[in-house]
Structure formats: structure tokens, C-alpha cells
Amino acid sequence: MHLGLLSSERLSFDPLKPIILSGPSTEEGSVVFSGNVILSLGKPTKVALITVQLKSIATTYWPEGIGSRGTRLSHDKSIDEQSVTVFDAKCEKKGYATFPAGIHRFVFTFVIPNSTVETIEDMYGRVKHTVEARVTSPGISLLNSWHITKPVLVLRTYLSNGMLTNHSIQDLSRTFEKHLPALDLQLMVEQAAFSSGELFHVRLIVQPQIKQLQLEHMELSLTETRRYSVPEMHALRTDCARFALPFLSAQLLQPQHDDDDAASLLSSAQSATSVSPHAAWAAVFNKHGPPMPIHHTLADRLTFTTPTCVRNCHHSTTFKDILIRHHLAIHLSFSYPDANSLHSTPSSSPSASTTTTPHQTPPPSPGPASEPQGTWISKLRKTPRPESAGRKKETIKLELPIDVYDCRLKEDFGRLPSYCEIPHASPDPCLTSSSGKQAPLVASSSEPSHLQPDTFAAGKPNDVEAYVFLCPCYFAFRRQVERASQVQLDHPPTSIDPSPIHRIPSQPPPDYVQ
């Protein structure tokens, strides 16, 4: 019988903080991961050794089978392993120490390099980090050892640690410029990185060079490519998924000049139409919607919703065995009058199109008697938007790599490398209900959810920033960070035989004397 199964009654961990890595994996740097091991004893117990081990294991799943015979369905690979001893009784004459009954805490610390692989949770590939504590008593180690294992969450942000030392500003924007005979286009992606569920912003400036320019259609999509490999077994699998970025709202960009002429030039082209700005933009993102005429300079800031973890959108990775990458595609379609059609023959004009040649029969007159059978069924179908005659189309396609981060790294967590280090004196409103009681571990249905694009049809463009999809993973992550910070403050680690220097109470420095 292995008594390690009963170790949960005697051995445990304090709530652990997640490991937050900053910047790319190729950047030099490290973070400190620490915690407390709790040993609860009901009677005096002899302890010889207490160790803590941090393991990182990558697992890939192969339902089709891999190996020489194709019988292996999974493959495990050890990425990293660290071990630290928090108590050792070698200095004792008996080889062990007798711990009195009560609760004993031992602190452990690991230095995590920035090249560590972050946590990956996918159907066909996972990277799991665990911390294991083991207590060994004198005698047979198999019967006199207790152990416990707990998972550790490792996340990575896009804020580089090097920015904190060289006082630089990281620019995540991407700007594209396109100069065509009919228009000048400038498109800026404000941040080429986002956490799944956040809002995505694009600034679009269109300067027409000819009259009757129209924006026919615009579309944004995110492509996720996944690659799983086991080089030693020559196993390889690739997969791809495409997510559309739904349009949420549009906001007029403020002019850089104060004069009225510049303000009028930067007014939206849809203001001249009878529809609202949101409805005009929503029609552009609909394949069968009417086009948007552009009479003056069009300068708007567009907001989109990003795919969430509920839609199985994974974060980008740098691990070569489980490689997940993302690309953003932006398609714009413009139309303008064709110069050749202005000098076309009368037979091609709309008034002459009704004439018939001797070899053609005139079309039947409309009416119920002339309609063939089944025509009324086709009327129920949604007919596509007819193509405008005498117009030329111009399609612009832009594509750029983009980083998608874990759904737990929202605005207040993804920008700073360290956060919630000092617990708040007042309870966190996100962790406390309206009645003042502590919220449960599992997110309730009353917590904020994803806002549908139809909500902005009535008009509340100023409240866009408040509607970010907050999944249960996000709330559980916040509670974990808050509880770990509170426990480290309220329960400092204890020692069985502290050194004499720790027994001396600290005294304030003497007053300054001139």
C-alpha cells in the first residue's frame, strides 16, 4: 500500500500564483516563482527530507496511431525539470528531526527562464506544468513518504522586460498605405496582438481621387494554423481554422487641424446619406448590403470583436512540437466609374437594352399567366446584389502575422509584467457579490458575457470599451491571483529552527542629526 495516496490530508500547497513570462521566448530574462508547502501534523512526526519539484511535460495525441507499428496513441516529452530541497536533516545526528503537532509552512523558490514553454491546452497537444512536494520520513521510503502534485499555470504577455530598463515604448501597430488612381488608402491596425475575447481596432482613411467612389465590401478574418510533430517518430499533423471578426461599431476620427475646412473634409461619407453611420458600415460588412458612397475623405475607427476560447480559439505558441500561429486578413473592395464605359455605344446604354434583334424573341410581359411554374418559389430566396453596370472594381488584400494571447490576459493583466503583487485593503469588486459575500470559484451566469453586434444598432458607441468577453477562465484566474497574494501576506513561511538573526526584532534607524 502506497501511503502517498493519503498525503492530501497532511501535505498541501498554499494558493499558487501563475507564472507570467514577458516578451518573446528568445529574449533573455527570468522570473521568480515561489510558494509555500503546508505540512499539517496531528502528532509529533519524524521528518528527514522535504523536496519540491517543478516539472514541464508536453503531450501530443495521435488517434490514427504513430510508431513503427502505429499502436501508440500519445507521446510524452519532458521539457524541463527543477528540484529544490526546503528541509534536510542531514546535519542532525539521528538523520531526522521531530516536528511538533501543528501546521508548518516551508517556502520554495524557482527561477523560471523566459524560454520556458507556456501552458498549452489543445485537443491534440498540451503542455502541462506541475509542482510536486514530497516529505520523506526515516525508514522505508516507499511506506514513509507523502507527496502531493498541483498544476501551475504559465502565461506569456507581449510586454518585453527590456522595455523596463531602456525606457522604450513598444509599438504594436501596423500601417499599410496603398496609392491607386481612384483612391489613396491608409489602414492602421492599432495593435497586432490581442487576447481572445478583446476588442480589435482598425483605423481606415480613404481619400477619393475621382467622383462616385464607393466602398462595396470589407471583411476581416483570422486564420489559425496548428502544427503537431514528433520528430523522433516522423509524425506530423497540420490543421487550420478560420474565424471571422464581426463588425461592432464605428467612430469618427478627430481631425488634426482646428479649422472648419479640415473638419468638414474628415467627416464621414455616410453622413450625406439617409442611413445612420452604424447602419452604413454594417451594410458594408454584409455581402449583400448596399455600398457606401465616398464623397469626401473617409476617416473612421472601426471596432471588431475577436474570437473567444468558447469558439476554440487558441493562443499563439513558440513551441516547435505544438506550433500555433495566427494571420489576419483584411479585404476591401471599391468600385468607381469605368472611363471606357463613358464613351460606349448607344446599344450598350440602359435605354437601348430593351430593343431586340430579328434573331431574338422579345421577353414576355410580366404577369401571373406568363410566369413559369416554380417562379414564386425563387422569389422567396434572397437574391444577390446586382452588379452595377459601367463600374470598375478594385480589390485590396492585406495580410499580416498577429499574436493571440491567452484569454486570461485581458487589458489589466496583459500590459504590465507584474500585477496584483500587493493585495488590496478593500475586497475586489470582481470577487465580491453585491451582498458582500465572497463570490464562488465557478463563474456565475450573471458575470459579463459577450456583447452581440446587434446591441449597438440602437446606439451606444461610447460604451464599446466596457463590453469585452470575460470568460470563466478570466474570473478564476483573478481569484487565483488575489488569493495567492492574500495568503502570502497573512501567512508568512515558518521554520522549525530559525536562525538567531531572525529572532532579533528589527529596530528603526536612528534619527538624522545635523
Task: State whether 136 and 233 are in the same domain.
Answer: no
Residue 153 in any domain: the answer is yes
Task: State whether 39 and 186 are in the same domain.
Answer: no
CB 293 within 8 A of CB 210: no
pLDDT in tens, the chain (514 residues): 344 444 445 889 999 999 988 888 888 888 899 999 999 988 888 888 899 999 999 999 999 999 888 889 999 999 999 999 999 887 777 788 888 988 998 999 999 998 999 999 999 999 999 999 999 888 766 556 788 999 999 998 877 666 656 665 667 889 999 999 999 999 999 989 999 888 999 999 999 999 999 999 999 999 999 999 999 999 999 999 999 999 999 998 865 544 445 444 444 444 444 556 788 899 999 988 899 999 999 999 999 999 999 888 999 998 999 999 999 999 999 999 987 655 554 443 333 333 333 344 444 444 444 445 554 444 445 444 555 567 899 999 999 999 999 988 875 554 444 444 333 333 343 434 333 443 333 333 334 344 333 333 333 444 444 568 888 888 888 888 888 888 766 665 554 444 444 444 555 666 655 5
CA pair distance 379, 276, nearest whole angstrom: 29
Task: State whether 18 and 151 are in the same domain.
Answer: yes
Task: State whether 185 and 295 are in the same domain.
Answer: yes
* Of 163, 189, 214, the domain-final residue: 163
Radius of gyration over every alpha carbon of the chain, rounded to an integer in angstroms:
32
* Of 135, 163, 191, the domain-final residue: 163
- The H or E element that residue 335 is part of is strand 322-337
Look up the domain containing 204 and give its range. 174-338+390-423
Q: Is 306 helix (H, G, I), strand (E, B) or coil?
A: coil
Task: State whether 127 and 183 are in the same domain.
Answer: no
Residue 429 in any domain: the answer is no
Residue 464 in any domain: the answer is no
Task: State whether 143 and 262 are in the same domain.
Answer: no
Residue 234 in any domain: the answer is yes
CA pair distance 282, 248, nearest whole angstrom: 8
Q: In sequence order, what are the residues at sequence separation of 6 or more whose Cβ sits closer than 8 angstroms to the Cβ of residue 473?
A: 309, 407, 408
What sign has the CA pseudo-torsion 166, 167, 169, 170?
positive
Q: How many domains does the chain have?
A: 2
Task: State whether 140 and 183 are in the same domain.
Answer: no
Residue 462 in any domain: the answer is no
* Of 113, 132, 163, the domain-final residue: 163
Q: What burial class does residue 157 get, using C-beta atoms within 10 Å of its C-beta: 0-12 exposed, 13-18 middle, 19+ buried?
A: buried
Task: State whether 124 and 216 are in the same domain.
Answer: no
pLDDT of residue 482: 86
CA pair distance 242, 244, nearest whole angstrom: 7
What is residue 438's DSSP assignment? B
- Residue 264: give its domain's CATH number: 2.60.40.1930
What sign has the CA pseudo-torsion 147, 150, 156, 157?
negative
Residue 14 in any domain: the answer is yes
Residue 346 in any domain: the answer is no
Q: In sequence order, what are the residues at sequence separation of 6 or more whose Cβ sits closer than 8 angstroms to the Cβ of residue 428?
A: 478, 482
Residue 382 in any domain: the answer is no
Task: State whether 121 and 192 are in the same domain.
Answer: no
Residue 441 C-alpha from the chain's centroid: 22
Task: State whether 261 and 319 are in the same domain.
Answer: yes
Task: State whether 15 and 100 are in the same domain.
Answer: yes
Task: State whether 214 and 117 are in the same domain.
Answer: no
Q: Determine how β-strand 30-41 pairs with β-strand 102-113.
A: antiparallel
Alpha-helix residue ranges (DSSP H) falling in 188-304 = 260-265, 277-284
- Residue 35: give its domain's CATH number: 2.60.40.640
